[in-house]
């Protein structure tokens, strides 16, 4: 379950820390969870009873191994992602079927390391240029962070139309003078 209990409430931790000893520190406004002296989770403290406080990012590694759980995972219910993510999922699943669901989860996992607005912008740009896929989105996001243009290898996207640019000869300009 990757949960710790503090004062009758359950708080999530990344699934990589399941079955390990942790230290839970409860403060007035937040609960901090440490493993081996390293902070692994931080949640806003809840004063209710029997409340499940989850960070969806904590469960993405597990869901990646079981993509069928993407729609049923309690930790992901109510996760307010921008609409462009749902559009991306629809495009990926329409093009690749079940592999598209796996690729969508990989895109969500980018949120573990990158800010939401950076990934959202990368997803939006990838959809606009028609390079819908995890690799393209990751490349665009990393290029945005490095403040440089993304260089996509279009060989990885055979469904995109190819462009052919011919070398211009001097004789081609003679037509314009006429």
pLDDT of residue 147: 77
DSSP codes, 116-173: HHHHHHHHHHHHHHT--SHHHHHHHHHHHHTTS-----GGG-TTSPP---PPPPHHHH
Percent of the chain with pLDDT over 90: 4
Q: Is 74 helix (H, G, I), strand (E, B) or coil?
A: helix
Looking at residues 71-93, what average pLDDT do you find? 84
> For the chain, how many residues are written?
178
Q: Which residue has the higher pLDDT, 105 or 176?
A: 105
pLDDT of residue 73: 77
pLDDT of residue 160: 59
CA distances from 44 to 9, 25, 49, 79 (A): 12, 12, 14, 16
What is the pTM assigned to this prediction? 0.72
Looking at residues 154-168, what average pLDDT do you find? 67
**The pLDDT of residue 118 is above 80:** yes
CA distances from 99 to 62, 68, 128, 132, 136 (A): 16, 11, 21, 13, 16
pLDDT of residue 41: 85
**The pLDDT of residue 178 is above 70:** no
pLDDT in tens, 121-155: 999 988 888 888 888 888 888 888 887 777 666 66
117 contacts 65 by C-beta, under 8 angstroms: no
Q: Which residue has the higher pLDDT, 116 or 59?
A: 116
């Amino acid at each position: 379950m990757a949960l710790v209990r503090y004062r009758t409430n359950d708080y999530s931790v990344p699934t990589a820390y399941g079955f390990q000893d942790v230290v839970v520190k409860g403060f007035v406004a937040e609960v901090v969870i440490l493993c081996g002296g390293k902070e692994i989770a931080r949640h806003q403290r809840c004063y209710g009873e029997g409340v499940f406080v989850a960070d969806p990012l904590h469960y993405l590694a597990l869901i990646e191994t079981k993509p069928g759980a993407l729609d049923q995972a309690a930790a992901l219910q109510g996760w307010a992602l921008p609409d462009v993510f749902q559009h991306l999922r629809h495009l990926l699943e329409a093009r690749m079927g079940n592999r598209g669901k796996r690729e969508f989860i990989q895109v969500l996992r980018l949120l573990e390391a990158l800010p939401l607005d950076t990934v959202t912008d990368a997803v939006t740009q990838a959809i606009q240029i028609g390079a819908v896929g995890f690799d393209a989105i990751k490349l665009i996001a990393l290029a945005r962070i490095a403040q440089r243009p993304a260089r996509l290898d279009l060989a990885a996207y055979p469904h995109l139309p190819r462009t052919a640019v011919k070398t211009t000869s001097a004789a081609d300009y003679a037509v314009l003078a006429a």
